[in-house]
Amino acid sequence: MSSILLSAKGLKISFGGVIAADGVDLDVYEGENLAIIGPNGAGKTTFLNISTGYLRPRAGSVTFLGEDITAQLPRTITKLGIARAFQIPQLFLDQTVMENMLIAAASLRGHPSGFRALSSLPEAPEMERLLDLVGVRENAMRKARELPEGQRKLVDIAVALALKPKLLLMDEPTSGVASSEKLGIMDILTRALAREKVTSVFVEHDMDMVERYANRVAVWNMGKIQKVGTPAEVLADPKVREQVIGI
């Protein structure tokens, strides 16, 4: 097996009376697409929030490439190479798609200029390539606000890729999208990830998507990792089928 990119050890966190994580251990290996499944409110998104510095666990730690990132700020973690795409796309709606991309490029570059035009950044061709990769290049000059949800999801992912991450964390990449579009989006997404050599973790409710696109699946239930394995192994497990998938 390839090397460990991100490693969570003994994570504990609760919100009021709800225990979201109660001693969670989970490793993410380089090059994989890891799906996290589980019932609603089980704590899947909490894992993404802890791994990106948005929440701090009560106990436990997260290391990324051997570095402890548990108490780091989101922007520090981003700089280390973890990017995030959101369940509801988080874009700068009043700016064009290309400007969204270039703001990400300027962030990655650091020390943004107050004088040179954003559009003249040397990263512009690279940003066009990424937009092309996710199939939204023709909308580069449109405002993000004008795009339909499915396209915004793809832009959200392109913005994350603009940060040249090693790991991309995605919260339900196809939620809020018409089911006819879901496969198309996931195809584009997995192709882009492979092309850019980005490892991914995605929280998902749709078992079809998990079966098709994940290399490995972790089941998050009652604040614990109930099972980890290949999609075939996990989805065949009677307990998982009963408690998580509801069959």
Binding site for other proteins (CB under 8 A): 52, 73-75, 78-79, 83-84, 90-95, 99, 102-104, 106-108, 112-119, 121, 159, 163
**Pairwise CA distance, residues 130 & 158, whole Å:** 6
69, 44 Cβ separation under 8 angstroms: no
Q: Which of 136, 143, 117 lies closest to 184 in space, CA to CA? A: 136
Q: Cβ of residue 221: shortest distance to other proteins, in angstroms?
A: 28
Q: Closest CB to other proteins among 45 and 226?
A: 45
Q: Cβ of residue 235: shortest distance to other proteins, in angstroms?
A: 32
Q: Closest CB to other proteins among 17 and 125?
A: 125
Q: Closest CB to other proteins among 49 and 226?
A: 49
With vertex at residue 206, the alpha carbon angle to CA 221 and CA 150, rounded to the nearest 5 degrees, is 130
Q: Closest CB to other proteins among 88 and 236?
A: 88
Burial class (CB within 10 angstroms; exposed 0-12, middle 13-18, buried 19+) of 48 = buried
Alpha-carbon distances, residue 199 vs 56, 64, 83, 196, 202 (angstroms): 23, 12, 10, 9, 10
Q: Cβ of residue 6: shortest distance to other proteins, in angstroms?
A: 16
Burial class (CB within 10 angstroms; exposed 0-12, middle 13-18, buried 19+) of 214 = buried
Q: Cβ of residue 163: shortest distance to other proteins, in angstroms?
A: 7
Q: Cβ of residue 75: shortest distance to other proteins, in angstroms?
A: 5
Q: Cβ of residue 36: shortest distance to other proteins, in angstroms?
A: 19
Reduced to 3 states (helix: H, G, I; strand: E, B; else coil), residue 187 is: helix
Q: Closest CB to other proteins among 103 and 225?
A: 103
6, 28 Cβ separation under 8 angstroms: yes
25, 47 Cβ separation under 8 angstroms: no
Report the 10 Å Cβ neighbour count for 55: 17
The number of residues making up the chain comes to: 247
Q: Cβ of residue 115: shortest distance to other proteins, in angstroms?
A: 5
Q: Closest CB to other proteins among 33 and 78?
A: 78
Q: Closest CB to other proteins among 120 and 179?
A: 120
